[in-house]
Chain A
């Protein structure tokens, strides 16, 4: 088959909320799910200002590290209240990798999404091939911290302690 050139990306712009927010967007799993946690964080720009017009999307395996049909695995939250919040369960380990969540961040001023990964502090990371490709001094930008009701994972788009972003 002939290869077709792909459609270019464009920014979501400042009015993404009218098109891309769902009432159940943050709920990867329903309320009341055993072991569910809130994954929360703030998105910062290069001046350290909070970005309140971003959209954060997550994609992850289930608790057994599987992507079975029927598993939603997907969450999305805007940041108009100062941060994002995703209600989910900790993913299990996908074979050969530490448990992780893939993350996309969209915003005005981002002409293409940026992609990062969330890892968790209680897991063993030494054999993870993706973390192994990241300089050790930047690993902490990819590891969430514990909170009262789950985890915190901030995203720094630019500047000091800039989050590691991936070319997928």
Chain B
């Protein structure tokens, strides 16, 4: 028996994700495949993935408020949670990358030129590794909303971009975390591209217990990557 015979693939989760063709989000028009996707049964390349270790993460990469000489302007927040698989198992030692706008809704990016100031003390970039229980924690400032040109008077709700690797190529996920009760949800085609029943999974939860008195508000955001199939992969290696 080869090692491969015991390997296990991942469950598919099409009901969780937005359709690639989402006309309300105009940029999808020329950026979605028109041919149907070809089903790829999982084999060794799909169930393995990069192990991107501590060498990728600097000492202050998890604290976006301490990366410059001074502190950034804005509401200081703690964003924490667990990275789990679809069976509730924690995913330890896994790279989490985030990026975001500053408190005024401006990104430190040459392409972002709307008239809201940059903050000299805020880059809006963070990295960390999950611990043995799949936990991660960032300290940052609450991002502001910002305008874009998708439709008349379009504004993105405040959000933080998240990039997750999990354990395998198949588990790779890039998403956005939002904040409860954002009045901009109703007109945002990116948030609303997600099937209605799944949208709440993108919204962090305010947590008074973890809020630090006279310091920072806390928001919990658990991320669930795909779980494993119940049965091992068939031996199709000949």
Task: Kindly state whether residue B205 has any CB partner on chain A within 8 Å.
Answer: no
CB nearest neighbor in A for B34: A158
Of the listed stretches B66-74, B103-111, B129-137, B208-216, name the one at the interface; the rest are far from the partner chain. Answer: B103-111
Please tell me if the beta carbons of B88 and A4 are within 8 angstroms of each other in the complex: yes
**Chain A residues near B18 (CB-CB < 8 A):** 8-10, 111-112
Please tell me if the beta carbons of B107 and A74 are within 8 angstroms of each other in the complex: no
**What CA separation (Å) do A14 and B15 show in the bound complex?**
25
**What CA separation (Å) do A103 and B202 show in the bound complex?**
26
Task: From B37, B107, B236, B237, give the contact of A166 (CB < 8 A).
Answer: B37
Q: How far is the CB of B185 from chain A (nearest CB, A)?
A: 13
- State whether A14 and B2 are in contact (beta carbons under 8 Å apart), knowing that A111-B19, A133-B38 are contacts in the complex: no
Within 8 A of B (CB), among A43-66: 45-47, 49, 51, 53, 57, 59-61
B34-46 interface mask toward A, CB cutoff 8 Å, 1 = contact, 0 = none?
Answer: 1101111111111
CB nearest neighbor in A for B2: A95
**Chain B residues near A115 (CB-CB < 8 A):** 40
Please tell me if the beta carbons of A158 and B32 are within 8 angstroms of each other in the complex: yes
**What CA separation (Å) do A59 and B112 show in the bound complex?**
31
**Chain A residues near B99 (CB-CB < 8 A):** 15-16, 18-20
- State whether A6 and B45 are in contact (beta carbons under 8 Å apart), knowing that A18-B123, A167-B40 are contacts in the complex: no
Instruction: With a 10 A CB-CB cut-off, give which of B56, B89, B169 has the most chain A CB atoms.
Output: B169
CB nearest neighbor in B for A76: B50
Task: Determine the interface band of chain B, counting residues with CB < 8 A from chain A.
Answer: 35 or more
Please tell me if the beta carbons of A96 and B238 are within 8 angstroms of each other in the complex: yes
Task: Kindly state whether residue B226 has any CB partner on chain A within 8 Å.
Answer: yes
- State whether A12 and B86 are in contact (beta carbons under 8 Å apart), knowing that A61-B45, A166-B39 are contacts in the complex: no
Task: From A18, A102, A104, give the contact of B125 (CB < 8 A).
Answer: A18
Task: Kindly state whether residue A107 has any CB partner on chain B within 8 Å.
Answer: yes
Task: Kindly state whether residue B170 has any CB partner on chain A within 8 Å.
Answer: yes
Please tell me if the beta carbons of A129 and B34 are within 8 angstroms of each other in the complex: no
**What CA separation (Å) do A158 and B51 show in the bound complex?**
32
CB nearest neighbor in B for A13: B161
Task: Kindly state whether residue A26 has any CB partner on chain B within 8 Å.
Answer: no
B76-102 interface mask toward A, CB cutoff 8 Å, 1 = contact, 0 = none?
Answer: 000000001111110000000111000
**What CA separation (Å) do A2 and B38 show in the bound complex?**
29
**Chain B residues near A167 (CB-CB < 8 A):** 12, 14, 37-40
Please tell me if the beta carbons of A162 and B35 are within 8 angstroms of each other in the complex: yes
Within 8 A of B (CB), among A116-152: 129-130, 133-134, 138
CB nearest neighbor in B for A111: B18
Task: Kindly state whether residue A109 has any CB partner on chain B within 8 Å.
Answer: yes
Please tell me if the beta carbons of B50 and A72 are within 8 angstroms of each other in the complex: yes
Please tell me if the beta carbons of A1 and B31 are within 8 angstroms of each other in the complex: no
**What CA separation (Å) do A106 and B201 show in the bound complex?**
21
Could you list 10 further interchain pairs (A-B, Cβ under 8 angstroms) beyond the known A45-B31, A166-B39?
A: A6-B224, A6-B226, A7-B202, A15-B99, A19-B125, A57-B172, A95-B44, A109-B31, A111-B20, A167-B37
Can you offer 15 A-B residue contacts whose CB atoms are under 8 A?
Answer: A4-B88, A5-B13, A5-B16, A7-B202, A9-B18, A9-B173, A18-B123, A94-B45, A95-B237, A102-B46, A110-B20, A111-B18, A113-B174, A158-B31, A168-B46
